[in-house]
Amino acid sequence: MSHATPPSYLKSAIKQIYRDDDDFILIGLTGRTGSGCSTVASILQHPKEDIKHSLFIGQNPVSSEARKERIILKFFEFDWHPFLLIQVRSIITTFLLEKSSDEAIDYLKEIITEGKREAVKTVLDEIRNTQEKHISASQFYSIDLPHGAERLKNILGENNFVRVYQKIGKNIRVSGSAFSEELVSGKFFSLAEKIQNAIEEIHKEQKSKSQRTFIVIDTLRNPLEALFFQDRYSSFYLLAVSTPEEDRQRRLRKLNYSEDEIKQLDETEYTSRDINDERFYSVQDIQGCLQRADIYVSNPDVVDEVSKYASLSNQLIRFVSLIRRPGIVTPTAIERCMQVAHTAKLNSGCISRQVGAAVTDQGFGVRAIGWNDVPRGQIPCNLRSRTELLAGTSNSAYSDFERSDNEYLGKFRTKSSAFRVILKHGRNDAYCFKSDYNEFKDEKNQVHTRSLHAEENAFLQLTMSGASISKGAKLFTTASPCELCSKKAYQLGIETIIYIDPYPGIAVDHVLGIGANRPTLELFSGAIGRAFHKLYTPVVAYKDELNAMVGYEIPKVTADKSGANISKN
């Protein structure tokens, strides 16, 4: 009895399963100014023959990683498809068209000098005319609009351009309009919704031409807007571009930023916000975006101009290939260990920020894991509540100070009255003691935290188990070690620290960058969290996919009474 060749049901199913990812990919970029988001967007827009990479191309790979590179390269050369660009700043520009060009310029007169107003008016009028008559969505959003925004940047200069777009970006999220600073409920996602409309227009046009829709968004700067796209598109990936701090600042200086302007920029887009602070609505919360990212690429400066962007291209080619064909290669050892740290952080009871850490030996064997949390035997913050403390129940969960200091309790009681509404929504009214105490004392002191840091917990796990640090030991952290944890890592003999989010302190310059046993610092590159599972879990067993591709079906086998295998063919 013959069998159908190829096994059509499997071949058809595989084709259908992969179609969504093949037809539609949406990558949102995030990163601090100077990290290289625009460079990443540019690489993704290039045809394959224009992308400079250094993936392994030889015949005799000497390692598994070289073999993985060769597999990725084959897939890249077989079917790379350039991305279309949607610039967030370009979409912000369209909000300026709500009023006449003269009115827009008049509103921004404190930033746009007299001598540049006519040139700005000309560009805004041209963008308006192009928008009114645009026929191709991909042409308008991916080419015409970014070109117009770039002309505005050239006219205004880098610094004033950033000031303009920060101002109107904040207004849009607060009021839904570029020209109003008054809070209007329900308008926070106005910018995200306009970006979504552009995506849908482009996708509809591409489908009508039977073309794929690969879009890169440059650059998302608010974690809530990132969440907006993560919730709406299964094929959306938030890709964070990270750069060593000294490299990033060097790039900004080349763009003629002064030291004061760099400091102001960092305070605007990176400093953690309290949601009650009106500056929260400026929404330049890059740190929050980095915590939400699915994929990370490292973009340090490279001296060799020939291979300047090769490393960056290698990373992008790998991740796009994995998005399109999950499981085509397995994770790197660094990804595997960072995923352990990422999973560990979910144990944290901190209501401000969850951090995970893992310590490994030279061969990436995990020796200890940790997460930021209170000492063993104490109750984490997410399981305590304002109501419970004020009611005087479960006293063992609260410190003697919290229960008995009348001055602190008086201010705590006053503040807690505003949080009673939380109970009506069926939520626990947990609180951060550090924040409340710092507010009470009018301080900003990290020492008041109840929690041990993730790195600290991992180190303590090592010592409590009697384990020792071996040569080549590595620390993986989903953030980066503070000054105190850096000193402990140094003392323990950690040789390499792989981190995601630079700590906004002097840990690197003051603690790790001194002495004879300086640890090596590496920015993480890889997929973690949901992307780790999506990119490295094959849709079907690779053997079955190969059989379907070549039209081969494994013959059915039965056994006779003696146990011998007998083919039915």
pLDDT in tens, the chain (569 residues): 444 455 566 666 666 666 545 589 999 999 998 999 999 999 999 999 999 999 998 888 999 999 999 999 999 999 899 999 999 999 999 999 999 999 999 999 999 999 999 999 999 999 999 998 878 999 999 999 999 999 999 999 988 998 899 899 989 999 999 999 999 999 999 999 999 999 999 999 999 999 999 999 999 999 999 999 999 999 999 999 998 888 899 999 998 888 988 888 887 776 554 444 444 444 678 888 988 999 999 998 887 666 778 999 999 999 999 999 999 999 999 999 999 999 999 999 999 999 999 999 999 999 999 999 999 999 999 999 999 999 998 889 999 999 999 999 999 999 999 898 888 899 999 999 999 999 999 888 778 899 999 999 999 999 888 877 888 999 999 998 888 898 989 989 999 999 998 766 666 777 777 777 888 888 999 999 999 999 999 988 888 888 777 765 555 555 555 444 444 44
Which residues partner with 357 through β-bridges?
A: 370, 477
Q: CA 243 to CA 297: how far, in whole Å?
A: 9
Cis peptide before 268 (omega within 30 of 0): no
| Cis amide bond preceding 6, omega within 30 | yes
Residue 433 CA to residue 227 CA, distance in Å, equals 28
Q: 29-63: b or e for each residue (b if 16 or more CB lie within 10 Å)? A: bbbbbbbbbbbbbebbbeeeeebebebbeeeeeee
- Would you give the distance in Å from CA 53 to the centre of its chain? 23
Q: How many Cα atoms sit within 13 Å of 232 on the Cβ side?
A: 16
Identify the CA nearest to 445 among candidates 456, 437, 453. Answer: 437
